[in-house]
Amino acid sequence: MKIMINLTTHKKNQLFIKTLKGAGYLTLIILTLFLFTLIFNSFLSLKTISLSFLFNTNWQPNTGNFGAAPFIIGTLFTSILALLISIPFSLSISIYIGYFLKNKKRKNTLETLMDLLAGIPSVIYGFWGLMVLVPIIIKLQTTLGIIPYGVGILAASLILSLMIIPYSVTLGKDVINLVPTDLVEAAIGLGATPYEVIKHIAIPYSLSGLFAGHLMAFGRAISETMAVTMVIGNRNFIPKSIMDPANTLASVIANEFGEASAPLHISSLIELGLILLIITTIINIIGKIIVKAYTIET
Amino acid sequence: MKLNKTNLEKRLLKNKIFYETIKIFSYALLIPLALILFYIIKNGIAYLNLDFFIKMPAPVGETGGGALSAIIGSFLIVGLSGLIAIPLGMLIGVFLAEFKEHKINNLTRLAVETLQGIPSIIYGIVAYAWFVMPFGKFSGISASIALALMMLPMVAKATEESLKMIPYTLKEASYALGANYYTTIKKVILPSCQKGITSGVLIGISRILGETAPLLFTAFGNAFLNFNMAKPINALPLLIYNYASSPYQEWHQIAWASSLFLIIIVLGLSIISKNVIK
Amino acid sequence: MTNETILSIEKLNISVKKNKIIKNLSLSFYKNKVTAIMGPSGCGKTTLIRSLNRMHDLDKSFKVKGNISFGNTNLLKADPILVRQQIGMVFQRPNPFPNMSIYENVLAGYILNGIKLSKEEKDNIVDINLKKVGLYDEVSDNIHRKGSHLSGGQQQRLCIARTLAMKPKVLLLDEPTSALDPKATTRIENLINELKNEVSIIMVTHNIEQASRVSDYTAFLYLGDLIEYDTTETIFTVPKDKRTEEYLSRKYG
């Protein structure tokens, strides 16, 4: 009887260990299948359109013309603009929390602010943007005497900048906080003001970390879908100014995938997804390499 | 002391300006946040009543109505995602933390991190290719798979991180009492990581509850009340997206109320998850 | 032999919350002398030396009362930045700025304070101060490289050069050799001896032999009180107080 019990628990144990290893392999299988699915389904587009897909500036599904250039440019345009708008805020908060705020209460206020901004679902940002921000931009455009689209690059970048600030701050405040007290004290001991300590010591010291934080925030901006889809105006042309409606890689997929029926159209949209995945993965990998080098160093 | 005083005054002024500027930039973000919350509360509160929870959306032209189908759909989809992602994520997390020497350990960690960085819309495309294309119809199940894949890395990471915190002595103590590996993990290690894992799970749920992009071509939305996960089904974020882009005032109001409801749950969950760790 | 006073502390009280760290301390430091501050851990010696160039300002919980006269200025009332330019400090652990080259590290005080210098002035300051600390020959080949490859002792001498470059009247050393090996320690001790002709030195040390080797005067602190202050020779040969005697014979550390 006793031996029997031991045997079953032994079996259970072996099974458990196998299950754990199985879960590890399953993760690899899922990711492989994931990538395979994307590549397999963009095969038609890859084969038919080949490399010119990247450079063709025309996207007209009804005439069978598929070029990714408007969306690549639209994505970079909105994301870079969003990043530029966000930098003064993210740097300020990182420095304010990481260097100045020893006071727990105020630090908590700002950290909660970041959590809230990061926690609001994308679709709600988009909805709010459409209902509140876009009418304001329409007024602005009317006053300026340009076509009052309202929706477009500007609206998308403004919303995006709000959404990505918490991502740069998460890393930014930590790397500023990690500047060794030794160095800060040495600089202060030489007569430097806090501004001079930050400019000459803290920022140069944490530069790679700050860069990585903003790079990953940039990656977020590129991959963000709903908020952008709702306020960017969904127009498949290369935008010429920040007031123009446009489309990003993610927003054109969100906008057209549900209605696409032509196989080449579907396949081209999936290839856009593949491009999006490649760009964001490269950005994430670079960011993670910098962070890893950083944590080893300090 | 013979130092140049004017220079000092200039430097101190510069410092003051710098400090005040970063302070202003930091607190300036309260304004858009307040505006977002203000509009959602102002426009949503009036419609977040009993009808919102028990009635279906009113047809075009009629006032009133609720978001019953979307609420039910969201809970069904997220519930099924959790059923898949929580146990599987925990297993992966235990594997990552425990089998450090295993030949695929680092590769698995890389896979988990890669999954975590994949844009949400792409989960939608893949779930579409896996479950919508072969069966020829949109379904709640395909949406659950997409969201489960998104949640998986979060649960796995939270589990791995919590397990790393457990001192080795605890495991030794368990072995010393004659427990085998399975019992040690199940009865000693995992219960001691309960807080960290729970918090990771809650954050994961709050994330996927608000996700919209992966649902667009999986759950798709449904104008009717539906409990069948094999069919197209509505969800709160889908409702907000569809109603937001509609021209009807009444639909906008339901979308505001849904936004308010969603924000309360999502932020509530993240607050709870923070307190769990404390 | 009369000594000129450079810095004089009158009725200094320092407390954190309800803990009194320095109790009603009065003491004068002499020009071109090396004064060692000694005492068991927790006696307040680091707090005392940090208050001399207002480093305690960094922690708002420190409450300081009293007077520290430097010429006819009360350092506790003056602008901390001016104080720190006159009274330099070298810390326990060598802390050259890792983002700056050796050359820039020597000039760090000028860079940080936004003082513009011509190329010749810069070269001159760097040469003189590296020579002073005996680093000139050791690093002259890679003066524009980062200082991180230097040994601990070299790094600490670079930090001393960086502080000297600002031409301070007083040099504060907070256990400057506690992180260094014996050989590097000897070099720093010799350096302290050479430097006292141009700057008054106040150093905190844990190391009783070091105090006896390099200092002219020694102050012995115990739980925030100044127990004894005299020439090092007197303190080490005929201490007046029993606690000093016990400390010197290592009854407590």
**What pLDDT does B2 receive?**
44
Beta-sheet pairing, C87-90 with C170-174: parallel
**Angle, CA A68 vertex, CA A67 and CA A69 arms, to 5°:** 100
- What is the residue-averaged pLDDT of chain C? 91
User: Percent of chain B scored above 90 by pLDDT?
Assistant: 73
Tokens of B201: 């799970």
Shared domain check, A255 and A128? yes
User: How far is CA C139 from its chain centroid?
Assistant: 24
For residue A37, give its domain range: 2-41
pLDDT in tens, B114-149: 999 999 999 999 999 999 999 999 999 999 999 999
Query: Coil, strand or helix: which one is B25?
Result: helix
* Residue listed under structure tokens 């927003």: A251
Comparing alpha-carbon positions, the chain B residue that sits nearest to A97 is B26
What is the rounded average pLDDT of the residues B37-41? 97
Across the interface, whether the CB atoms of B1 and C113 are under 8 A apart is answered no
User: How far is CA C33 from its chain centroid?
Assistant: 12
Shared domain check, A138 and A30? no
Shared domain check, A258 and A113? yes
Query: Coil, strand or helix: which one is C124?
Result: helix
Comparing alpha-carbon positions, the chain B residue that sits nearest to A284 is B117
Contacts of the segment A84-89: beta carbons below 8 A, 24+ positions apart: A85/A157, A85/A158, A85/A161, A86/A161, A86/A162, A86/A164, A86/A165, A86/A168, A86/A217, A87/A168, A87/A214, A88/B25, A89/A161, A89/A165, A89/B25, A89/B26, A89/B28, A89/B29
Shared domain check, A12 and A127? no
**A57 domain residue, yes or no:** no
User: What residue spans define the domains of chain B?
Assistant: 69-277
What is the rounded average pLDDT of the residues C204-230? 92
Amino acid in the structure at residue A75: T
Are the CB atoms for C47 and C172 separated by under 8 Å?
no
B248/A156: higher pLDDT: A156
Tokens of A56: 């063709």
pLDDT of A91 over the 90 cut? yes
pLDDT in tens, A202-227: 999 999 999 999 999 999 999 999 99
Residue A1's pLDDT band, with cuts at 50, 70 and 90, is very low
Across the interface, whether the CB atoms of A34 and B213 are under 8 A apart is answered no
CA–CA separation, A201 and A189 (whole Å): 13
pLDDT of A167 over the 90 cut? yes
pLDDT in tens, C70-94: 988 899 999 999 899 899 999 999 9
pLDDT of C1 over the 60 cut? no
Amino acid in the structure at residue B134: P
Straight-line distance from the first to the last Cα atom of chain A, in angstroms, rounded to the nearest whole number: 58
Tokens of C2: 């009369």
Residue B77, C-beta contacts closer than 8 angstroms, at least 6 positions apart: B140, B143, B144, B147, B215, B219, B229, B233, B235
The answer to whether the complex's ipTM is over 0.90 is yes
Query: Coil, strand or helix: which one is C67?
Result: strand
Q: What residues of B are in contact with residue A123 (Cβ under 8 Å)?
A: 210, 212, 237, 240-241, 244
Residue B5's pLDDT band, with cuts at 50, 70 and 90, is low
Number of compact structural domains in chain A: 2
Are the CB atoms for C57 and C80 separated by under 8 Å?
yes
- What is the residue-averaged pLDDT of chain A? 93
Angle between helices A104-119 and B249-277 (to 10 degrees): 130
Shared domain check, A157 and A278? yes
pLDDT of A5 over the 60 cut? no
What is the rounded average pLDDT of the residues C152-170? 94
DSSP H stretches of helix in A42-150: 43-49, 52-55, 69-95, 104-119, 122-128, 134-144
Which CATH superfamily hosts domain B69-277? MetI-like (1.10.3720.10)
Across the interface, whether the CB atoms of A119 and B266 are under 8 A apart is answered yes
Burial class (CB within 10 angstroms; exposed 0-12, middle 13-18, buried 19+) of A76 = middle
pLDDT in tens, B168-217: 888 888 888 888 888 899 888 999 999 999 999 999 999 999 999 999 99
Whole-model pTM? 0.91
Please tell me which of A272-276, B60-64, C57-61 the model is most confident about, judged by mean pLDDT.
A272-276
Shared domain check, A85 and A22? no
**What pLDDT does B53 receive?**
93
Shared domain check, A36 and A74? no
What is the rounded average pLDDT of the residues C30-55? 92
Query: Coil, strand or helix: which one is A106?
Result: helix
**What pLDDT does B64 receive?**
77
**What pLDDT does C59 receive?**
84
- What is the residue-averaged pLDDT of chain B? 92
Q: Of C70, C71, C81, which is closest to B8 when you measure between CB atoms? A: C81
Shared domain check, A16 and A162? no
pLDDT in tens, B165-182: 988 888 888 888 888 888
pLDDT in tens, C90-134: 999 999 999 999 999 999 999 998 888 999 999 999 999 999 999
Across the interface, whether the CB atoms of C109 and A188 are under 8 A apart is answered no
Shared domain check, A197 and A290? yes
* Residue listed under structure tokens 């209460």: A105
Shared domain check, A135 and A28? no
What is the rounded average pLDDT of the residues B6-28? 93
**What pLDDT does A298 receive?**
56
Shared domain check, A245 and A171? yes
User: A interface mutation test: which of B3, B38, B95 has the most A CBs within 10 A?
Assistant: B95
Pairs across A and C, CB distance < 8 A? 68
Rounded to a whole number, what is the distance in Å from the CA of B17 to chain C's nearest CA? 16
Q: Is the dihedral of CA A222, A223, A224, A230 positive or negative?
A: positive
Q: What is the CATH number of the domain that holds A183?
A: 1.10.3720.10
Domain annotation for chain C: domains and CATH numbers: 5-248 (3.40.50.300)
